[in-house]
Amino acid sequence: MSVRAQDQLERLLLALPHLEEDTALAFSELARRVGTDEGTLLADLQALGDRDRDVAGFNESIELHLGPDGVGARTDHFKRPMRLTRPELAALDLGLGMLLLERPLEERATIEEARAKVRRAAVSPPKSVVAGVPTVTTVDPPNAIAAEAAPAELVEHFGVLWQARDEQRAVRIGYRAVDADITEERTVHPWAVVRAHHHLYVVGWCASVTDVRVFRLDRISSVAFDGTRFDVPADFDVNAIVRDGRVFSGELPDDELVVRYSPRIARWIAEREQVPLAEDNSVTISWPLADDEWAVRHVLQYGAEAHVIAPERVRDAVVQRLEALQHAPS
């Protein structure tokens, strides 16, 4: 294939998705979107129909309609752009950057690799081919979302705790509770290492207080094996402590927050929580409720797409919060 043929194919692959979306697009506008002049684009489109070697009974897979008011196409093929647009690349970069901030340490390498591929694709600005000559359009690169690198000490602690859990080896940790001013040394049997609400937690037996405890990884200042081993109790169930992305140091609360998510966002909620959609494409989910303030924040982040079904006090609290915001001084 000659360079000229390659250029023509690229222009056609850029043009056809626009024609699928708009069946009466002004020819000048189509040429502008493709990045070429009207004469060159007209020759490209005519080349699709000017074939004198088609066999009898050949069915056209692409039908073009050229008229004084615009150009249109009918086809089952080439309905999507053959490359990502710059806004799409920027959106991917943004989404992966935000994901990188909230995913656990062990998943960051995969996300960073995917993000590097997106950025490599975004480095070279798109080319437009005019009369066989590629030209480069200057476009600003996607906005960077930089995830703060996890401290090496945190990664090291995670590795030791993960090994301790797998090998059922007790550890000594230096731990500072959220309401404490000093770091205490604890002897811990790590029964599970779990992620909840953007943090990593160690769940297990604390020999120092002879009870089950939950330790947040970023509050652990030191970790070392203490030379003893342990057995995980047969009746231990981490789901009794971590549920729906939340950590409960005691028993799960009896109260529940019931929320209906509208069809506009329900598909993503259902996929994340692994529950089926309702017949109207909405989804209703029950959450363990130990904190009404958390429930209000959770509902408000979805705006009008989330409706509190129960309890009534949370629904009233959401209304009161919205009214307060409405009357707050600007």
pLDDT tens for 214-257 read 888 888 999 999 999 999 998 888 776 765 555 555 444 457 88
Of 264 and 97, which is predicted with more confidence? 264
Q: What is the mean pLDDT of residues 3-21?
A: 73
Among 59-63, 72-76, 205-209, the minimum mean pLDDT is found in 59-63
What is the distance of C-alpha 99 from the center of its chain?
A: 6
Residues 33 and 95 in one domain: no
* Residue 90 falls inside a structural domain: yes
Q: What are phi and psi of 84, to 5 degrees?
A: -75, 145
Cβ(258)–Cβ(280) below 8 Å: no
Same domain, 237 and 167: yes
Q: Are residues 263 and 241 part of one domain?
A: no
Angle (CA) 190-191-197 rounded to 5° is: 85
Domain boundary among 201, 222, 247: 247
Buried b (16+ CB within 10 A) or exposed e, 227-250: eeebeeeeeeeeeebbeeebeeee
Residue type, 44: D
Cα–Cα distance between 47 and 5 in angstroms, integer?
11
Partners of residue 260 on adjacent β-strands? 284, 307
Q: Do residues 280 and 310 touch, judged by C-beta distance below 8 A? A: no
Is the pLDDT at 322 greater than 90? The verdict is: no
Least confident of 4-8, 21-25, 29-33, 307-311: 21-25
CA distances from 147 to 94, 95, 108, 120 (A): 11, 12, 10, 18
Question: Are residues 195 and 202 in contact, defined by beta-carbon separation less than 8 angstroms?
Answer: no
State the pLDDT confidence band at 173, using cuts at 50, 70 and 90: very high
Q: Within this chain, do residues 223 and 202 fall inside the same structural domain, yes or no?
A: yes
107: Cβ contacts below 8 Å, ≥ 6 apart: none
Rounded Cα distance, 211 and 4, in Å = 76
Beta-bridged to residue 187, according to DSSP, are 172
For residue 145, being part of any structural domain is answered with no
Q: Are residues 159 and 227 in the same domain?
A: yes
Structural domain boundaries, residue 307:
256-327
Q: Which residue has the tokens 């690169």?
A: 141
Report the pLDDT averaged over residues 146-174.
82
Please, what's the largest Cα pairwise distance for the chain?
88
Which among 139, 124, 137, 135 is positioned nearest to 40, based on CA atoms? 135
How much of the chain, in percent, has pLDDT values that exceed 90?
17
CATH code for position 20: 1.10.10
Is 146 inside any structural domain? no
Cβ 129 vs Cβ 36: under 8 Å? yes
Structure tokens at 48: 């699709």
Residues 156 and 243 in one domain: yes
Distance of alpha carbon 272 from alpha carbon 266, whole angstroms: 10
Residue 189 tokens read as: 């049997």
**Same domain, yes or no, for 271 and 301?**
yes
The answer on 269 and 201 residing in a single domain is no
Same domain for 206 and 126? no
Whether 227 and 207 share a structural domain: yes
182 plus 241 within the same structural domain: yes
Does a structural domain hold residue 13? yes
Which pLDDT does position 75 carry in this prediction? Answer: 66
Domain final residue, candidates 47, 75, 103: 75
**Whether residues 242 and 178 fall in one domain:** yes
- Does residue 2 register a pLDDT over 50? no
Q: Domain of 228: which CATH number?
A: 2.30.30
The answer to whether position 286 is within a domain reads: yes
Those residues whose C-beta lies under 8 Å from the C-beta of residue 173, and which sit 6 or more positions away, are 185, 186, 188, 215, 220, 221, 222, 223, 224
Domain membership of residue 98 (yes or no) is: yes
Note the pLDDT of residue 130: 47
Q: Which one is predicted more confidently, 176 or 20?
A: 176
Dump pLDDT digits (tens) for 287-317: 777 677 878 888 888 888 999 999 999 999 9
End-to-end CA, the chain: 64
* Residue positions counted in the chain: 330
Question: Does some domain include residue 141?
Answer: no
User: For the chain, what percent of residues have pLDDT higher than 70?
Assistant: 68
In angstroms, the Cα distances linking 75 to 33, 100, 167, 272 are 20, 40, 60, 36
Closest CA to 23 of 76, 68, 64: 64
Helix (H) or strand (E) holding 153: helix 152-167
Cis peptide, bond prior to residue 311, ω within 30 of zero: yes
Instruction: Give me the number of domains the chain comprises.
Output: 4
**Does 7 score more than 70 pLDDT?**
yes
Of 247, 266, 294, the residue at which a domain comes to its end is: 247
| 80 assigned to some structural domain | no
